[in-house]
Structure 1
Amino acid sequence: MHILITGADGFVGAALVQRLLTEPPPALAARPLHLSLLDRQFRAPPTAPQVEQHAGDLSDPALLQRVLATPVDLVFHLASLPGAQAERDPELGLAANLLAPVALLNALAQQRRQSATAPVPRVVLASSVAVYGPTDPSRRLHEDARPQPALSYGTHKWMTELLLADHSRRGELDGRSLRLPGIVARPSRESGHGSAFMSQIFHALREGQVYRCPTSPQATAWWMSLGCCLDNLLHAATLPADGLPASRCWQVPVLTASVDQVVQAIEQALGAEAPPHLAYHPDAEIEARFGRYPAIDTPAAEAAGFRHDGSIAGLVARVLIQLDAADGAAR
């Protein structure tokens, strides 16, 4: 099975590669896996013979031709430019978050058009809750809420969802879009994410560092651990094609919690007795865009088998295990 992962050297991408190499779902492990990894650059060479790296720009036709020389069975499209960075550089955001996935989906569809015997590529798109735009924290949201993106990032994600659904309608692709929340805990070095505070509070409390949180303690966000994110991506990849909604899109179940609730859960897990190393300095723009999420109902996604972390305590436990493992690998 030929699997292509874009953004493969990123936070989620690198973890997905490791999961596929060590714990692939039975439905994907039935055939030998060959992983084609695509990113602008890679920090380390491949460590497994079934892995091939391709460094370059996703919108480069020559690169896509090289990667797709062997028909692809499954694609995880994770590559994107973070929303805050895309807002500062609109041209770069357009290229990375819309034009690049358009080029990828068209190239994949062409694979099917050129050969009726070629596999219909299954595409799992990492979309974003940014498609919703501003939300009212006092009113529950439903998974069928109409997107009203307030950032170019959310607009481009929504447009890509629609294009993938249209290719699926035409029988050229088998698409599955997942609207993902903030995934924690991203590496502390990462920048460009307006929601970076969601990860930074884990690093600060775990390492006993002082952190200026750009929201109030009462700011509410949608939370998901990296492990849970991988579970949902792989579940999307193994869902039977029959009976999928025309939208080919799900709002994955999420945990809704305030920053203060998560901080308290982290302190309890760490056994911290000292006052928190957080100072709250709310930024009105960040709080408005990333700290006013309401509870959301996702019955269709849950019926399809998608899941959240279960509880804030469960989420915190998974994140701390992830960070301990990352520290161990770095030694």
Structure 2
Amino acid sequence: MHVLITGANGFVGQALTKHILSQGCVGDRRVSRLTLLDRQFDGGLVDQSTDGLVVEHQGGDLADDQWLKDTLGRFPMDVIFHLASIPGGMAEQNDELGRRVNIDATMTLLEICKAQTELTGRKPVFVFASSIAVFGIMPDWVSDNTPLKPQMSYGAHKVVGEVMVNDFSRRGWIDGRSLRLPGVLARPPAETGQLSAFLSDIIREVSQGHAFVCPMSAESKTWASSLPNIIENLLHGAAVEESKLKSNRTFTLPTLCFSMAQMVDAIGLVYQQNANELVSYEPNPMIEKLFGCFPLLETLAADKVGFRHDVDLNNLVRRALFKGH
């Protein structure tokens, strides 16, 4: 089986790559070729080809449609994890770049899949990493039927991707699955353009006994999952049988809803720190509006086909810093 990961050098992409390399399979199918796409690669993702598994790194501009077609036209693909994107803050600052990567590159990938299916009859599974940013302004209760009202370009781009994945699946050109990812914890300290980076920083800093200024109030509520949980759900998304999906190709992943005060308590309990003394609160109105007003969440469609959350907040903060993804 040939697996493609776009955005393979990113936080989630690296963890997914390492998991597939360690297990050698996706679901119950063995992986024989793993193609990794990103603009560039860190030293950590070195060539790890082994007997029976060829790993290929391709560095380039995903917004260059000819490069994508030339790179991916050599070997038929079985599973695609499309993780690459220009995230929220960066997409707001650079509208053209956001659209080229988040919309144009997604469309090029879908067209490549269509051409493969029409030429060979080999229809790839297309796992699209969408985002809870599609919701934007939320009501008091979010379910599978909640209208989408994105408040940032990134969320709007993801809505476009979801619609096209559904349409290409309807036409029989791909076996698509769009997974709306919540905040993923805990990201390493880096300038990624992610406005929600503080949710990772607070776990990393307070777990080490460092003081932290939280940009949201103690009562503000958000959604998040650990990185291992997200990897499990991405792999499940690729492995679940198409017959179980029917016409529904978009899933809001189950995740935990909690207040910042609850998160601080969990960090203190799991890492044996006096967290309430280490954390002070200086709410930023913009940050709190974007990430601190999340309501209760119901994910019946995702639950039904086997997607899962972290069980509880203690488990989330414990797994967030676990290195053996």
Measured against the shorter chain, the TM-score band is over 0.9
Report percent identity of matched pairs: 40
Q: How many Å apart are 1:90 and its aligned residue?
A: 1.1
Structure 1's 23 and 190: CA in aligned 2 closer, same or farther, altered over 3 A? Answer: farther
**Aligned residue number for residue 48 of structure 2:** 47
Q: How many Å apart are 1:214 and its aligned residue?
A: 1.4
Residue pair 2:207, 2:273 contacting (<8 A) in 1 also: no
Superposed CA RMSD in Å reads 1.6
Q: Count residues in correspondence.
A: 319
d(CA) in 2 for partners of 1:120 and 1:241? Answer: 11
d(CA) in 2 for partners of 1:223 and 1:261? Answer: 13
Matched, 1:58 2:62: yes
d(CA) in 2 for partners of 1:103 and 1:32? Answer: 24
**Aligned residue number for residue 106 of structure 2:** 101
**Aligned residue number for residue 36 of structure 1:** 35
Q: How many Å apart are 1:275 and its aligned residue?
A: 4.7
Q: Deviations over 1:294-315 (max 9, x none)?
A: 1111112111100000000111
Residue pair 2:185, 2:226 contacting (<8 A) in 1 also: yes
d(CA) in 1 for partners of 2:310 and 2:300? Answer: 16
Residue pair 2:256, 2:313 contacting (<8 A) in 1 also: yes
List alignment gaps of at least 5 residues for structure 1: 327-331
Q: Deviations over 1:262-321 (max 9, x none)?
A: 111011111113654333221111100111101111112111100000000111121132
Matched, 1:129 2:132: yes
Q: Counterparts of 1:145-294 in structure 2 under 5 Å? A: 145-273=146-274, 275-294=276-295
d(CA) in 1 for partners of 2:138 and 2:159? Answer: 16
Q: How many Å apart are 1:99 and its aligned residue?
A: 1.1
Structure 1's 186 and 274: CA in aligned 2 closer, same or farther, altered over 3 A? Answer: closer
With the length of structure 1 as denominator, give the TM-score of the two structures.
Answer: 0.92
Instruction: Give the match's secondary structure for 1:321.
Output: coil
Residue pair 1:224, 1:255 contacting (<8 A) in 2 also: yes
Q: Deviations over 1:42-83 (max 9, x none)?
A: 012323342100000113213432223100000000001111
Q: Which range moved further: 269-278 or 310-319?
A: 269-278
d(CA) in 2 for partners of 1:91 and 1:112? Answer: 30
**Aligned residue number for residue 21 of structure 1:** 21
Q: Deviations over 1:165-200 (max 9, x none)?
A: 111111111100100100000011243111111111
d(CA) in 1 for partners of 2:274 and 2:217? Answer: 22
Amino acid of the residue matched to residue 33 of structure 2? Answer: H
Instruction: Give the match's secondary structure for 2:243.
Output: coil
Instruction: Give the match's secondary structure for 2:322.
Output: helix
d(CA) in 1 for partners of 2:26 and 2:49? Answer: 19
Residue pair 1:143, 1:297 contacting (<8 A) in 2 also: yes
Q: How many Å apart are 1:25 and its aligned residue?
A: 5.1
Instruction: Give the match's secondary structure for 1:227.
Output: helix
d(CA) in 2 for partners of 1:27 and 1:135? Answer: 34
Structure 1's 275 and 300: CA in aligned 2 closer, same or farther, altered over 3 A? Answer: closer
Residue pair 2:268, 2:275 contacting (<8 A) in 1 also: no
Instruction: Give the match's secondary structure for 1:54.
Output: strand
Q: How many Å apart are 1:23 and its aligned residue?
A: 2.5
**Aligned residue number for residue 120 of structure 1:** 123
Instruction: Give the match's secondary structure for 2:150.
Output: coil
Q: How many Å apart are 1:26 and its aligned residue?
A: 6.4
d(CA) in 1 for partners of 2:157 and 2:36? Answer: 23
Amino acid of the residue matched to residue 150 of structure 2? Answer: P
Instruction: Give the match's secondary structure for 2:319.
Output: helix
d(CA) in 1 for partners of 2:287 and 2:247? Answer: 34
